[in-house]
Chains A and B, each alone.
Chain A
Amino acid sequence: MDVLLLQAVKSVATADVNSSINYLPIVLQLLVAIGIVVLMMTGTHLLGPKRKTEDKLKNFESGIDAVGNARQPMAIKYFLVAILFVLFDVEVIFFYPYAVNFRALGWEGFLAVLGFVGFFLVGFIYIIKKGALSWED
């Protein structure tokens, strides 16, 4: 198994796809991603010129002058959309173990999932009817 060349998956795939060792490439990718960010940040910090004028230190807001305070309470509509997203997110996650066992479970599993999705559909119709996702009041 050649860890450094990321070829572990290919050689192991036929024998045992599901062992924890196969997550090593993901860990390596994570480390490379973090490493690049750290390298870039420290590199620019050390190499770049520092001219601290008032204009340079100002917060950048797409070129226009900064207006008002960023620390103000925001509308609860965002929260409502986010929490509804989380619920449907979890619904989709339950499809994953079903999709893996799709053939083995047959019609019985299909009906179980259909009932599960049916409840969510009722909730979705409720949300649409209540206008919870419409942005303008």
Chain B
Amino acid sequence: MNVTQILFWLLSALTVFSALVVITRKNPVYSVLWLIITFISISGHYILLNAQFLAVVNVIVYAGAIMVLFLFVIMLMNLNADAEPQKNKWLQFAGVIAGGCLALVIIAALKNVDAKARIAETGSDIGLIENLGKVLFTQYVLPFEISSVLFLSAMVGAVVIGKKN
């Protein structure tokens, strides 16, 4: 095993472990903090794949900004002990069934995938910021412009929902 493989397995174990901790914590604030660790370890995977721009954006936007939004959402809710939602046995049962079905579908879909053909080229330079910028501003300039319209609609939506009048 070389260094990359060791790092890959370490990061994978950390990702899966922290993701499991996210869904098992009772306190949602702890869940968010563990989700930050999940995101950072996924960023580590991006760096191993030489997709550095994606790694940096993942840390800045997801681990930084989106997590703040998650915390705000949690703080908007009422978290007092007496306001805990009632645990419904049937609801939990239905959740297990639904999650199990999803897992079954994913496993069935991934079983037939030819993994060898899908392996990412770790040595390629396609994820570097310079190459990404060249492609983004020449070949994919139209989607880039359209994404700004998406941002505009997000702004309008946030203001309309969040502002009283």
Contact = CB atoms under 8 A, between A and B. Distances in A.
Interface of A: 18-20, 23, 69, 71-74, 76-80, 82-87, 89-91, 93-94, 96-98, 100-101, 104-105, 108-109, 112-113, 115-116, 119-120, 122-123, 126-127, 130-132, 137
Interface residues of B, number: 46
Top 7 A-B pairs, shortest CB-CB distance:
A97-B133, A80-B162, A119-B148, A123-B155, A101-B133, A86-B65, A109-B137
A120 B152 contact: yes
Interface of A is mostly: helix
Contact of A20 (B50, B65, B77, B164): B50
B68 A82 contact: yes
A120 B163 contact: no
Contacts of B73: 79
Contacts of A78: 72
Contacts, number: 134
Interface of B: 47-48, 50, 52-53, 57, 60-61, 64-66, 68-69, 72-73, 75-80, 125, 128-130, 132-134, 136-138, 141, 144-145, 148-149, 151-152, 154-156, 158-159, 162-164
Contacts of B79: 71
Interface of B is mostly: helix
Contacts of B132: 97
Contact of B78 (A23, A71, A96): A71
B77 A101 contact: no
B136 A119 contact: no
Given A23-B47, A79-B73, A97-B132, A127 B159 contact: yes
A82 B76 CA distance: 13
A18 B60 contact: no
B128 to A, nearest CB: 5
A67 B82 CA distance: 19
Given A83-B154, A86-B69, A119-B152, 5 more contacts: A79-B73, A89-B65, A94-B144, A120-B152, A122-B152
18 contacts: A20-B47, A20-B50, A73-B75, A73-B78, A76-B76, A77-B162, A79-B162, A82-B65, A83-B154, A85-B65, A87-B158, A89-B61, A89-B65, A90-B61, A108-B138, A112-B144, A119-B152, A123-B155
B155 A126 contact: yes
Contact of A132 (B72, B128, B162): B162
B151 A72 contact: no
A80 B133 contact: no
Contact of B148 (A72, A98, A100, A115): A115
Contact of B164 (A86, A127, A137): A137
Contacts of B151: 87, 90-91, 119-120, 123
